[in-house]
């Protein structure tokens, strides 16, 4: 069993493989022509079983990965389809909720956040335009992000769906 475990790394599976090797030897005892010692035969049989088991696991893992990738791709295709009424409804609801949250932010916080995220201005540029410090800009952006996280917490699943669909 310890010999098999060197190949497998799982004592339960190793035990099963060794038992299978003994069982196969017992079943085929009258048909086998062992040219070496029975001990050497069993070691080789266990080694082959371990290698076959590992090959099976590798094939299984590759198949699961391929299937998972295919499912993920199909899901993306469904959500990328702008004609999909479900996706359009989710997107509209989410856009409205985000707009509401931004509209309800304190005035300076909202202004700084919009300049940062929608106008793509750097913190230094925002500070210069609004005649405030870069630290104040950073604080407003941090506050806006806290508000968004708090108010959109119930929409995390929807946000992930939309984000994944945009990939």
Domain with CATH 1.10.10.10 in the chain: 82-165
List the single range of 14-28, 51-65, 71-85, 108-122 with lowest mean pLDDT: 71-85
Topology adopted by domain 2-76: Rna Polymerase Sigma Factor; Chain: A (1.10.1740)
pLDDT for 3:
83
Q: How confident is the model at residue 140 (pLDDT cuts 50, 70, 90)?
A: very high
Closest alpha carbon to 162 in 66, 75, 83: 75
Contacts of 120 (CB under 8 A, 6+ apart): none
Tokens of 134: 């870069």
Which residues, including other chains, have CB under 8 Å from residue 72's CB and lie 6 or more apart? none
Higher confidence at residue 129 or residue 6? 129
Alpha carbon distance 48, 34 (integer Å): 16
Our CA angle for 59, 60, 65, nearest 5°, is: 100
Question: Is residue 114 exposed (0-12), middle (13-18) or buried (19+ Cβ within 10 Å)?
Answer: middle
pLDDT band at 60 (very low <50, low <70, confident <90, very high): confident
For the cut 80, the answer to whether the pLDDT of residue 30 exceeds it is no
Rounded to 5 degrees, φ, ψ at 32 are: -80, 140
User: For position 64, what pLDDT does the model report?
Assistant: 86
**Span 77-87, pLDDT tens digits:** 665 655 656 66
pTM of the model: 0.45
**pLDDT over 80 (residue 125):** yes
Helix (H) or strand (E) holding 151, with range, is helix 134-151
The per-residue pLDDT for 136 is 93
Residues 98 and 152 sit within 8 Å (Cβ to Cβ): yes
Q: Where does the chain hold its CATH 1.10.1740 domain(s)? A: 2-76
* Average pLDDT of the chain, as a whole number: 82
Q: What topology is assigned to 82-165 in CATH? A: Arc Repressor Mutant, subunit A (1.10.10)
Residue 9: DSSP 8-state:
-
């Amino acid at each position: 069993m310890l010999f098999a475990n060197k190949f497998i790394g799982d004592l339960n599976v190793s035990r099963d493989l060794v038992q299978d090797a003994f069982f196969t030897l017992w079943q085929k005892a009258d048909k086998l022509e062992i040219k070496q010692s029975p001990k050497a035969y069993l070691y080789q049989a266990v080694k082959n079983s371990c290698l076959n088991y590992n090959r099976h696991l590798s094939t299984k893992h590759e198949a699961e990965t391929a299937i998972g990738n295919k499912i993920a791709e199909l899901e993306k295709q469904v959500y990328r389809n702008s004609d999909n009424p479900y996706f359009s409804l989710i997107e509209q609801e989410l856009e409205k909720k985000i707009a509401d949250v931004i509209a309800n932010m304190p005035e300076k916080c909202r202004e700084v956040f919009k300049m940062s995220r929608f106008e793509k201005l750097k913190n230094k540029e925002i500070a210069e335009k609004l005649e405030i410090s870069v630290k104040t800009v950073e604080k407003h952006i941090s506050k806006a992000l806290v508000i968004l996280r708090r108010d959109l917490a119930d929409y995390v699943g929807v946000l992930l769906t939309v984000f994944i669909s945009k990939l």
